[in-house]
Structure 1
């Protein structure tokens, strides 16, 4: 489980996002990161049973993203992220693909899966798969349990105009307009600090798994 002291550190970092404070509290950061790494290792074992494409040998340390922000091209010059991001990739996604992502932030944690902003050739392949086998995707995303957990899949970032090569009367046009293909579920602080947190998150990912299978099949 994620410990209270990990969330406390992130909360205080929001109001003290500077190098001086961070270095003075480096030991607290190291403990928080270790907590997240340990949690990730446990989650990987559970996730491999759900999605065999997610290797049981994943290095938990490499899955936990850096807390240091790249401020070179950003107007926001604060040097640190106020969250821990955990990327859980599946095999064959070296150049991007369907994966799972856990975001740990006080009051704003969530688990997500799918493919965020696919590169051009992958986006083209996914749209082609939707055009050919859109029914398979709608069966997944219109399932009442899926909608209850993740909301309206079609209500995410999409084109304002028609995608190239597709007509307005295409039965799946709203899916073809999508720029990302993400399912996301918010998690409370209580949920991520629970002894059953890893099981809860893995169970949610099991509901995302069919979506990831559809997306992976599209870009094979």
Structure 2
């Protein structure tokens, strides 16, 4: 393999040293240790940034909503917000990114990548707790286009990738929201306050040469779901 191609190939892989850093940080989550190992953190962050840029560049050819985004602008800070938390450890023990049209703080549905050792790496997507006006728009769209939405989230490929939608109690109401009939065919989805799907990867997956393809395959499967959620938010 030519030297330039080898460099590009390595940049599109998560290195085992990146996972090792976060594993060590979990055991030494304090400023003194972090400052002493800042060079290792910068290397790990750069490795993840390069990988995510490869993901964006590849999937951006299929999803124009993320084409042109930079991985650097999508990455979240490693510092935790400890102001209102009983847990005062200063750093997250993972690196995450929100890859969304308009940037990571956009109110739109988007992709999410979370790199963390010991089988906690995750690729996800959807929309988390949208504001009231957007929540109402999404529910209305699901009500109007129930067959289309149901077909997307029950498709064989979607279920194989993500196991279907996330159904935790933290994202769903007990009753159908006001304004919709209890026997509405879409009632199950109308109860949701967030619409999310995710899958986890082993460390062996994360450091394999196939991980880039696995992530972009997951993004491709996720794309129709995100497009549906964003449709009412972008077109009043």
TM-score (norm 1): 0.95
2:8 maps to what in 1? none
Q: Give deviations 1:68-101, integer Å, cap 9, x for gaps.
A: 0111111111000000001111248864111100
Asked if 1 retains the 8 angstrom alpha-carbon contact of 2:80 and 2:92, the reply is yes
1:148 alignment partner in structure 2: 160
Q: How does 1:171-210 map to 2 (within 5 A)?
A: 171-210=185-224
User: Is the Cα contact below 8 Å between 2:74 and 2:99 reproduced in 1?
Assistant: yes
Between the aligned partners of 1:188 and 1:86, the Cα distance in structure 2 is 18
- Aligned-partner SS, 2:91: coil
Does the 8 A contact of 2:100 with 2:106 survive in 1?
no
Could you tell me which runs of 5 or more consecutive residues in structure 1 were left unpaired when the two chains were aligned.
none
Residue number in structure 2 paired with 1:71:
82
Deviates more, 1:144-153 or 1:8-17: 144-153
Matched, 1:120 2:104: no
Distance 2:208 2:198 in 1: 20
Question: Structure 2: how far apart are the matches of 1:75 and 1:93?
Answer: 26
Q: CA deviation at 1:50?
A: 2.2
Shift of 1:118: 1.3
* Structure 1 equivalent of residue 10 of structure 2: none
Match of 1:7 in 2: 19
Q: What SS class does the counterpart of residue 102 from structure 1 fall into? A: strand
Contact 2:96 2:112 in 1 (8 A): yes
Aligned equivalents of 2:92, 2:185: Cα separation in 1 = 41
- Please, what is the CA RMSD of the aligned residues? 1.5
1:31-50 map, 5 Å: 31-50=43-62
CA contact (8 A) 2:74 2:104 kept: no
Q: Which of these residues, 88, 105, 109, is aligned with residue 116 of structure 2?
A: 105
* Aligned equivalents of 1:63, 1:154: Cα separation in 2: 23
- Deviating beyond 3 angstroms after TM superposition, the runs of 4 or more aligned structure 1 residues are 91-95
Distance 1:126 1:92 in 2: 20
Bigger mean CA deviation after superposition, 86-95 or 19-28: 86-95
Q: Which residue of structure 2 aligns with residue 90 of structure 1?
A: 101
| Residue number in structure 2 paired with 1:23 | 35
Please identify, of 148-157 and 195-204, the stretch whose mean Cα deviation from structure 2 is larger.
Answer: 148-157
Contact 2:14 2:51 in 1 (8 A): yes
| Matched residue SS, 2:145 | helix
Q: In structure 2, what is the equivalent of residue 168 of structure 1?
A: 182
Q: More relative contact order in 1 or in 2 (CA 8 Å, sep 6+)?
A: 1
The structural deviation recorded for 1:162 is 2.3
TM-score by length of 2: 0.89
Distance 2:114 2:200 in 1: 9
Q: 1:52 aligns with which of 64, 69, 76?
A: 64
Alpha-carbon distance, 1:59 to partner: 2.1
